[in-house]
Amino acid sequence: MKFTLNRSEAETKTFAGPGTYTVSIQSVKDGPLDRNGDIPTLLRYRSDDGCSITDRFYAKETQMWRINLLASVTNVDLPDGQEFDLSKPGSLTNLLTHWVGQRLSITVDQDGDYLRVKRLNKAPEEAF
């Protein structure tokens, strides 16, 4: 295995403010227990200039629309109609790892002192 050192990949910057940004899904991991006793799955989005933001997904019936939306705005290679058992700890994280590397557009809004991902859209067509 070969490794190329690139310190810029370790740097994390936040987005300048509210707006729409084209990003890639950089990583997926289980988050810490939240105040409601739920364990979120954390998706880290990263722009080409190194800005990043984290989004929380939950394995709850009321949140499944977000996974369908994520599938519709990316080119993830999962067929419609495929079923996933999300009842086991870590199962949502395992499912969402299919999206690592996928490009999309996110809309970020100010929510108090924090920036939060509010919308997911298809990434603009890239020039070749």
Identify whether the C-beta of residue 43 lies closer than 8 Å to the C-beta of residue 54: yes
Q: pLDDT tens, 78-88?
A: 999 999 999 99
Q: At CA 104, angle to CA 28 and CA 83, rounded to 5?
A: 60
Q: pLDDT tens, 88-104?
A: 989 999 999 999 999 99
**Residues 61, 10: Cα–Cα separation, whole Å:** 35
Tell me how crowded residue 126 is: count the other CB atoms within 10 A of its CB: 7
What are 119's strand-pairing partners?
A: 107
pLDDT by 10s per residue, the chain, length 128: 888 887 766 667 889 899 999 999 999 999 999 999 989 999 999 999 999 999 999 999 999 999 999 999 998 999 999 999 999 989 999 999 999 999 999 999 999 999 999 999 999 985 43
